[in-house]
A and B are shown apart, each in its own frame.
Chain A
């Protein structure tokens, strides 16, 4: 596609439920990133994929958070047993590869945990 797309755009869930957030990067981009943005805050790095492998998972806040990427394209961020503090906008970005720092962002998924 023309840009990074994310789905759903909004997700409301109950505390304790699992959620899956999807990211479709720009076609041909080998690097994919997940960030979290809490209300009125900057972006917090979660995880980075190069191809299907994740060399840097250092930002995942707990073992309830996991992500995978298949076929070097689509990525899914899963949050298990959601907590109210997980409420935030989850942003995905992609870039063309190791040498490129220019990350292009999707519109985000706004997650609300009741």
Chain B
């Protein structure tokens, strides 16, 4: 099935560092979502974006809906060990309710 291009594929950082990851698509989306998945669990919604240019924060997390509507990024500031996991972007386009997911970014944080 179709998936969004998400990068980087993985990141290995030190505790306290900032992190940035992004998703791009050749198609326009009208909603962007960012999820985090821990091992053996389902994805948990972090941030939802509904308007082009929208910038939304959730604690140390900040996400933006790209102005072209074809991309989104997620920033994590001052990373901590519990930030470890796989981060997925997801987009919705047109009238459909289904989400198209990115390929995921594996984040490892060294204490």
Q: Flag if B97 contacts A98 (CB, 8 Å).
A: yes
Taking the closest CB of chain B, its distance from the CB of A56, in whole angstroms, is 6
Which residues of chain B have C-beta atoms less than 8 A from A105's C-beta? 35, 42-44
7 closest cross-chain pairs (CB), A and B? A105-B42, A42-B101, A43-B101, A44-B1, A45-B98, A101-B31, A42-B103
Band of interface residues on A: 20 to 34
Which residues of chain B have C-beta atoms less than 8 A from A95's C-beta? 97
Which residues of chain A have C-beta atoms less than 8 A from B31's C-beta? 101
A103–B35 CA distance with the chains assembled, in angstroms: 10
Q: Flag if A56 contacts B92 (CB, 8 Å).
A: no
Which residues of chain A have C-beta atoms less than 8 A from B98's C-beta? 33, 45, 48, 56, 58-59
Taking the closest CB of chain B, its distance from the CB of A19, in whole angstroms, is 19
